[in-house]
């Protein structure tokens, strides 16, 4: 349970960062964050959607879910506005590695993460067992990747 909470918190934080960057019109459109910071255009990473090999019906349902999520996400952002000062503070926290501040900002977007999670769970119900396994494998791979990235930033512990 702690791993899922951590994973959800990280996903929400990344979603928040992506939302802030998308709103900042001065940011360049090209990808600058490295391989671990992927732009989420839909509910799932594009590579995963491709890997799922969706049927035409599943693709239509996925597209509907993405559109509905985007609408709900926009409403969430309107209901939970971010000031320029908050954007700057998030940027500084990210750049400095201030985990406590980043955690605070992640809490701000916890509701958005829950909305996304609900849409993903609903969509996942339309998948075949093989596709569900692909999703589970992708989650496991993400957990390993996030864990490895987190380990790289931790100071060495003395034994």
pLDDT in tens, the chain (159 residues): 655 554 555 655 556 565 555 554 444 444 344 333 444 568 899 999 999 999 999 999 999 999 999 999 999 989 988 888 888 988 898 899 888 888 888 887 888 889 999 999 999 999 999 999 999 999 898 888 776 665 555 444 444
Instruction: Tally helices (H) and strands (E) across the chain.
Output: 7, 0
Asked whether residue 148 is assigned to any structural domain, the reply reads: no
Residues 95/22/2/130 CA torsion (nearest 10 deg): -130
Q: Determine the structural domain holding residue 91 and report its residue range.
A: 2-27+39-143
Q: What is the pLDDT of residue 25?
A: 45
Asked whether residue 83 is assigned to any structural domain, the reply reads: yes
Q: pTM score, two decimals?
A: 0.62
Asked whether residue 156 is assigned to any structural domain, the reply reads: no
Asked whether residue 79 is assigned to any structural domain, the reply reads: yes
Asked whether residue 13 is assigned to any structural domain, the reply reads: yes
Asked whether residue 33 is assigned to any structural domain, the reply reads: no
Looking at the structure of the chain, the number of domains it has is: 1
Q: What is the pLDDT of residue 148?
A: 66
Q: What is the pLDDT of residue 116?
A: 92
CA of residue 68 relative to chain centroid, distance: 17
Q: What is the pLDDT of residue 9?
A: 57
Shortest CA distance to 20 belongs to which of 103, 109, 119, 95? 109
Asked whether residue 150 is assigned to any structural domain, the reply reads: no
Asked whether residue 110 is assigned to any structural domain, the reply reads: yes
Shortest CA distance to 42 belongs to which of 54, 32, 33, 34? 54
């Amino acid at each position: 349970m702690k791993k899922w909470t951590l994973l959800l918190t990280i996903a929400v934080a990344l979603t928040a960062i992506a939302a802030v960057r998308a709103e900042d019109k001065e940011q360049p459109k090209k990808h600058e964050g490295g391989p671990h910071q992927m732009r989420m255009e839909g509910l799932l990473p594009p590579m995963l959607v491709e890997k799922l090999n969706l049927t035409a019906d599943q693709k239509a349902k996925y597209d509907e879910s993405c559109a509905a999520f985007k609408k709900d996400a926009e409403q969430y952002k309107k209901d939970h506005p971010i000031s320029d000062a908050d954007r700057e503070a998030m940027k500084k926290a990210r750049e400095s590695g201030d985990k406590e501040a980043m955690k605070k900002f992640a809490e701000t977007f916890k509701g958005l993460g829950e909305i996304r999670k609900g849409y993903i769970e609903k969509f996942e119900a339309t998948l075949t067992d093989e596709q569900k396994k692909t999703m589970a494998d992708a989650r496991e791979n993400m957990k390993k990747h996030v864990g490895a990235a987190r380990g790289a930033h931790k100071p060495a512990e003395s034994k």
